[in-house]
Homo-oligomer: A and B are copies of this chain.
């Protein structure tokens, strides 16, 4: 025989306790606490009072097992360190706040193996949905998600094949459009400054789109500079100093994100350079920060909050409908190129 040792040091309050305290069956107590089914006002009050009195907190683990309903949404992102993903989270939170769903965050550090582990962990909670950054995963991770029966929304990127639904911008197009704007304004000796991140597929796609347009116009990048770690603003400053020392003839600097771009902008202004006359600058992301700089950096908004919201809406609708109505498979959001003050007129 198997008898449970209920740990004496802590007796967890159960529905049964509320039932006994109120003189109402467990079932009815459950109904009251979940606002489900018809219950007389009198009973409802007896139950509510007893529950409050005891300080009863329902056990969602048991509830989830019995009902096969888990109000958690897994959110799997590469990093928390650069405000991009926290902003996605804000969009997700805003939408989920109006539902019974709760986000659970997992961080992958841009490591495919870690992503696989995190996805496995998440799926083992049978969540109401999974929101995963990016379209690139290990084969095993892909398979797990495909077979999970859980709605999967891949976010940030739409350049590739989604498992279920994708919400994001096209980074290839973002890179292309930025290059187009730059060339249109007559800049020709272009330098690229970015992060040393072979696994940041979105940065890579922007770069590819950017380079493709240069190539189509008979140009190539005149210089490249990469960094890793440290204060992005400080690194932007440093890298800009380096690249301009090595290539004083550059007339444009394209930064893979606004933070390093902001550092570069501050550097150029302090050095007394003519921005955007002699040298133009552009970044990527459209962070809030650029509104406070001496000049507004040209950039392309990555629509982070919007993406988070759209992804959460798909999951929320799916959770509501329980698979009875189909959802959008591909939501491409079109970011607007913001000229700012660091590009000369066309």
Contact = CB atoms under 8 A, between A and B. Distances in A.
B90 A80 contact: yes
Given A12-B149, A61-B70, A80-B86, A107 B123 contact: no
B102 A103 contact: no
A181 B291 CA distance: 31
Nearest to A148: B57
A5 to B, nearest CB: 10
A60 B289 contact: no
A95 interface: no
A64 interface: yes
Contacts of A103: 104-105
Interface stretch (A16-24, A159-167, A233-241, A277-285): A233-241
Contact of A126 (B59, B149, B233): B59
A237 B288 CA distance: 14
A27 to B, nearest CB: 11
Nearest to A7: B68
Nearest to A124: B60
A290 B299 CA distance: 22
Contacts of A87: 80-81
Interface residues of A, number: 61
A42 B174 CA distance: 54
Interface in A315-330: 323
Chain B CB within 10 Å, residue with most, of A60, A262, A292: A292
Contacts of A143: 55
A83 interface: yes
Contact of A231 (B57, B107, B288, B323): B288
Nearest to A117: B97
Contact of A64 (B61, B83, B237): B61
A232 interface: yes
A57 B122 CA distance: 10
A208 to B, nearest CB: 28
Given A12-B149, A61-B61, A148-B57, A294 B266 contact: yes
Contacts of A104: 72, 102-105
Contact of A57 (B123, B237, B292, B294): B123
A58 interface: yes
Contacts of A55: 143-144, 147
A71 B234 CA distance: 39
A89 B93 contact: no
A15 B7 CA distance: 27
9 contacts: A7-B68, A80-B93, A89-B105, A230-B291, A231-B291, A236-B292, A262-B292, A263-B292, A266-B294
Interface of A: 7, 9-10, 12, 55, 57-62, 64-65, 68, 70, 72, 80-81, 83, 85-87, 89-90, 93, 102-107, 120-121, 123-126, 143-144, 147-149, 230-237, 262-263, 266, 270, 288-289, 291-294, 323
Q: Sorted from nearest, which 4 A-B pairs have the closest CB atoms?
A: A233-B292, A234-B292, A231-B291, A10-B149
